[in-house]
């Protein structure tokens, strides 16, 4: 009869596979991605059926590219995303620099207020933006969608860049000014190049978030043209068409590509920790 030592029992315990955790994780991913997999599969369905798959075909992708209404909405979503990306990045960089450099109680309070949009339900933000535009007698249009998306996205850019700016050595910028550079030249030639990977990553992330956004776009858009997400919602109220599956698949591919690009940008600039995007480290 052999006696097992506590050390051996401990090793057997650590080598045991966490079956419960693996089961829960598997169920989570199934519930999350199985409906998406069904949408992708039926986007290649040769027939109009949404329940019976009858062979692979690209007919619904062809139908999408020949649908002028959906193409117009796609162009609208791209324009809104590009403008929101540019506006939120410019304002977010300025806000992050101000919050890091302004070490006062007012700066700390502004930092806390900046985080409020991240925890506020988006439907509340959407309704508030719509009421604001109507109260100011501004007609809902593509411009109001852009303004609302810029306002909502600034916090994401600021959160990403704030910790990155705090990690920069201020003595480098001070050394540049000691050598004769003005404050603006030190910012343009020293600080902004050091922040470039985080700026590009946040820009791509904002583009992906705005392009897929529905709630804010729904409350702030006009009649026509509407963003693609709102157009899809309007279309499925009268029944899901296979073309919508093709549109959803293309949006999914585009979103995955943009998120992958955002995560890869820091590595392209020779920095590790590209997956730690939200910390900006």
Q: Give residue limits of the domains in the chain.
A: 80-224
Between these two residues, 239 and 256, which has the higher pLDDT value?
Answer: 256
Each residue's pLDDT tens digit, 220-233:
887 778 888 888 88
As a whole number, the mean pLDDT across the chain is 81
Please report the pLDDT score of residue 150 as a whole number: 92
Contact 70, 139 (CB under 8 A): no
Q: What is the mean pLDDT of residues 96-116?
A: 78
Q: What is the mean pLDDT of residues 7-32?
A: 73
Contact 265, 274 (CB under 8 A): yes
Residue 56 pairs with which residues in a beta bridge? 45
Domain 80-224 belongs in CATH node 1.10.357.10: no
Q: What is the mean pLDDT of residues 63-71?
A: 86
d(CA 37, CA 25) in angstroms, rounded, equals 17
pTM equals 0.76
Mean pLDDT lowest among 177-181, 213-217, 247-251: 177-181
Please report the pLDDT score of residue 88 as a whole number: 93
Q: What is the mean pLDDT of residues 6-20?
A: 60
Please report the pLDDT score of residue 163 as a whole number: 81
pLDDT at 269 over 70: no
Each residue's pLDDT tens digit, 118-138:
788 888 888 998 999 988 888
pLDDT at 2 over 50: no
């Amino acid at each position: 009869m052999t006696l097992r030592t506590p050390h051996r029992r401990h090793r057997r315990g650590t080598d045991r596979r966490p079956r419960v955790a693996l089961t829960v994780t598997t169920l989570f991913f199934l519930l999350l991605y199985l409906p998406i997999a069904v949408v992708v599969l039926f986007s290649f369905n040769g027939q109009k059926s949404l329940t019976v798959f009858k062979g692979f075909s690209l007919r619904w992708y062809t139908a999408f590219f020949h649908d002028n209404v959906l193409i117009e909405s796609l162009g609208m979503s791209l324009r809104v995303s590009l403008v929101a990306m540019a506006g939120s990045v410019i304002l977010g960089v300025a806000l992050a620099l101000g919050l890091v450099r302004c070490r006062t109680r007012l700066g700390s309070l502004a930092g806390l207020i900046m985080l409020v949009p991240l925890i506020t339900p988006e439907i509340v933000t959407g309704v508030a933006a719509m009421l604001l535009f109507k109260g100011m007698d501004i007609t809902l249009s593509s411009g109001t969608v852009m303004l609302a998306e810029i306002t909502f996205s600034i916090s994401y850019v600021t959160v990403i860049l704030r910790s990155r700016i705090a990690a920069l050595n201020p003595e480098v910028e001070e050394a540049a000014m000691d050598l004769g550079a003005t404050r603006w030249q030190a910012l343009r030639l020293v600080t902004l190049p050091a922040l470039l990977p985080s700026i590009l990553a946040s820009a791509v992330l904002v583009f992906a978030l705005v392009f897929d956004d529905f709630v804010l776009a729904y409350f702030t858009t006009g009649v026509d043209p509407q963003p693609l997400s709102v157009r899809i919602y309007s279309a499925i109220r009268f029944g899901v068409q296979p073309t919508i599956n093709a549109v959803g698949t293309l949006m999914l591919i585009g979103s995955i590509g943009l998120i992958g690009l955002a995560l890869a940008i820091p590595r392209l600039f020779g920095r590790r920790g590209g997956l730690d995007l939200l910390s900006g480290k």
